[in-house]
Amino acid sequence: MQEARERQHAEETMRSSGHLLQAIIDNSVAVIYVKDPEGRYLLVNRRFEDISTGAARHPRADDYEFFSNQTADAFRTMDERAAAQTAL
């Protein structure tokens, strides 16, 4: 019984932390996003949505869905450079 209560408390704490983190991300003036290795968006904040064409409504889309080909190519190049740096 004690173990079940502890697990429930841990789950509630995690949910609360997740909501807090999402609120911070959404209300930041910075553009915040997370992409997978293929360049598809996994998470975006409201500021990103303001500069794109509704990324939240297109889950797992890539830069070509929201920006010109030239801009999307530039973003992809930056993503590849960043990935190469983190692999070191």
Classify the C-alpha dihedral 73-78-79-85 as positive or negative.
positive
Q: Which residue has the tokens 């889950």?
A: 59
Would you list the DSSP string of 38-56? TS-EEEE-HHHHHHTT-GG
Q: What angle do CA 31, 15, 54 make, to 5 degrees?
A: 30
- In one-letter notation, the amino acid at residue 86 is T
The structure tokens listed for 12 are 């509630």
Total-model pTM: 0.66
Tens-digit pLDDT profile for the chain (88 aa)?
888 788 887 777 777 777 888 888 888 999 888 899 889 988 888 888 888 766 556 668 888 888 889 999 999 999 999 888 876 6
